[in-house]
């Protein structure tokens, strides 16, 4: 239930509102009433209510001062202001604190209930949106870590790492523009690895929230790298230099290097670690071994490459050979690693697998501990490829085709943008997507979607919806704005929708 506090210096109003409404029926718990702004402020800090209904004028703190303090405290509290007739203009100042709900005294039960319903609806809508953002962030982080592990795998086993191509991954991560920091902690024995990593994760969570930390462990050395997020790293260096869990008997040797790009960092890093037989890529506190099974890796890469370009008749053979190769792997961690390599390749270079679905699938895969279940999951996913149309039949790159399909399916959305599609559907960099879209389709996204909307409008007009211009505007993504729809239609066709419909019917 959502928690509510009522604050008003008039006892009759406080008691009337608190007893007038059946709060439980609205899904609300009334946790307290307050006589002034100071009492309300303290109760808000103690109870963290979702909703506060407050008078605009109270002793101690006014309603606006109370809202300002809570806003500055970054608490997710929604306010309903109670104001007299002469105070309404004054109350509008609260809009800068995102307060949009006012009740003019005296107010009745119906007005209060309607305001509460609006607040409740907004809260759950905002909560759903926040949950979606958190899930999308988790998916993006997981995808980045899977890609990074895949890149390290590929580079380690390449005969010439200098010729490695970043093109397959450049739509998901920035390899050229953003600076990176590379850190080494030497003389760290494996038994102390988790203790040290836990302290580092805690530090980054507090001082650099949102910054993805990539970790590798090789032969008593912990290697960390992350995107540059500030100008000076004096505080970070001091933390790392003095990092010493209680159980660690000696001080670690620390070193940090700065690189102008992720590409430069990875080339330097791979040169240093490829000589080791086993490299542990850290998934949180879990070390995932990258084993030097060179022959199997080479075979898997060749089969995956063949599958990517195979026609329908050849794909069954490729999938069967890949499945048989995976069955030859007896090590659970390496099976996960090999399977992830195949799925990421298929998701990034073909239209067989969705990048979002693959990311979710890899999250589930990485949580599995049973060898038989991991093998079953991978085989089932590979068999899905056989049901898909050939990727070579696509006119555009796979992710451009995904954009085109998404636009067609969501054309009625007036808020449809390339930025929204790139970040929330493809999980790709919008600048990269925009450039590739323009290059492959020979037009800007805005021109493409406008042309598509005009084409759909022509179709609807041809089907006889000539008297439903407002409805057509909604169907083609112009919202409840028939004037705007008419403007873009005329600009694209040289005539208004009505004139075009008249022409279809044989008029002049």
Q: What is the mean pLDDT of residues 181-201?
A: 94
- pLDDT, tens digit, for every residue of 423-440? 888 888 988 999 999 988
Residue 393 has pLDDT above 50, yes or no: no
For residues 389 and 291, the model is more confident at 291
The mean pLDDT value of the chain amounts to: 85
Supply the pTM of this predicted model.
0.58
- Among the listed residues 52, 50, 5, 7, the one whose alpha carbon sits nearest the alpha carbon of residue 30: 5
- pLDDT, tens digit, for every residue of 334-350? 888 888 888 888 887 77
Q: How confident is the model at residue 142 (pLDDT cuts 50, 70, 90)?
A: confident
Residues 6+ apart with CB under 8 A from 41: 61, 66, 69, 70
User: What sign for the dihedral angle of Cα 238, 286, 345, 338?
Assistant: positive
pLDDT at 345: 84
- Among the listed residues 436, 449, 437, the one whose alpha carbon sits nearest the alpha carbon of residue 477: 449
3 state SS of 287: strand
- pLDDT, tens digit, for every residue of 241-261? 999 888 888 889 999 999 999
pLDDT at 173: 87
pLDDT at 170: 82
Can you list the alpha helix ranges (DSSP code H) found in 287-425? 294-309, 312-327, 332-349, 355-367, 371-385, 398-409, 418-421
- pLDDT, tens digit, for every residue of 193-238? 999 999 999 999 999 988 999 999 988 899 999 999 988 999 999 9
Residue 304 and residue 381 in contact, taking contact as beta carbons nearer than 8 Å: no
pLDDT at 256: 96
Residue 36 has pLDDT above 70, yes or no: yes
pLDDT at 198: 94
């Amino acid at each position: 239930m959502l928690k509510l506090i009522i604050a008003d210096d008039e006892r009759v109003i406080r008691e009337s509102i608190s007893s007038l409404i059946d709060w439980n029926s609205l899904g609300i718990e009334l946790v307290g009433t307050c006589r002034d702004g100071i009492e309300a402020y303290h109760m808000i800090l103690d109870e963290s209510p979702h909703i506060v209904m407050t008078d605009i004028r109270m002793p101690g703190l006014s309603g606006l001062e109370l809202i300002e303090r809570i806003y500055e405290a970054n608490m997710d509290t929604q306010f309903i202001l109670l104001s007299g007739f002469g105070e309404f203009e004054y109350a509008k100042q609260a809009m800068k604190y995102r307060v949009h709900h006012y009740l003019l005294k005296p107010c009745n039960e119906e007005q209060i209930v309607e305001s509460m319903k609006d607040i409740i609806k907004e809260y759950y809508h905002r909560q759903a949106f926040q949950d979606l953002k958190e899930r999308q962030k988790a998916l993006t982080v997981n995808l980045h870590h899977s890609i990074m592990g895949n890149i390290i795998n590929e580079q380690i086993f390449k005969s010439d790492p200098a010729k490695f191509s970043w093109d397959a991954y450049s739509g998901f991560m920035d390899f050229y523009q953003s600076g990176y920091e590379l850190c080494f902690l030497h003389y760290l024995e494996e038994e102390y690895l988790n203790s040290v990593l836990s302290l580092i994760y805690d530090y980054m969570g507090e001082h650099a929230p949102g910054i993805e930390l990539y970790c590798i462990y090789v032969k008593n050395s912990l290697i960390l790298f992350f995107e540059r997020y500030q100008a000076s790293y004096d505080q970070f260096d001091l933390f790392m230099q003095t990092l010493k869990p209680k159980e660690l008997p000696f001080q670690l040797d620390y070193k940090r290097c700065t690189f102008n790009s992720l590409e430069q960092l990875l080339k330097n890093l791979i040169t240093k670690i490829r000589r080791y037989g086993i490299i542990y890529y850290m998934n949180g506190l879990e070390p995932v071994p990258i084993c030097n099974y060179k022959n199997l890796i080479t075979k898997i890469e060749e089969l995956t490459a063949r599958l990517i370009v195979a026609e329908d008749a050849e794909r069954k053979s490729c999938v069967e050979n890949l499945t048989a190769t995976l069955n030859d792997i007896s090590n659970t961690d390496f099976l996960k690693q090999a399977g992830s390599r195949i799925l990421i390749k298929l998701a990034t270079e073909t239209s067989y697998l969705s990048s979002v679905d693959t990311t979710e699938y890899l999250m589930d895969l990485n949580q599995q501990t049973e060898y038989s279940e991991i093998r079953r999951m991978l085989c089932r996913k590979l068999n899905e490829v056989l049901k898909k149309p050939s990727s070579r039949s696509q006119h555009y790159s796979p992710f451009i085709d995904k954009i085109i399909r998404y636009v067609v399916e969501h054309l009625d959305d007036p808020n449809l943008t390339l930025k929204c599609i790139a970040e929330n559907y493809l999980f790709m960099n919008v600048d990269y997507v925009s450039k590739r879209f323009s290059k492959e389709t020979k037009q800007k996204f805005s021109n493409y979607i406008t042309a598509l909307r005009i084409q759909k409008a022509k179709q609807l007009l041809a089907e006889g919806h000539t008297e439903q211009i407002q409805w057509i505007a909604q169907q083609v993504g112009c919202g409840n704005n028939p004037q705007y729809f008419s403007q873009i239609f005329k600009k694209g066709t040289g005539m208004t929708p009505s004139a075009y419909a008249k022409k279809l019917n044989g008029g002049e």
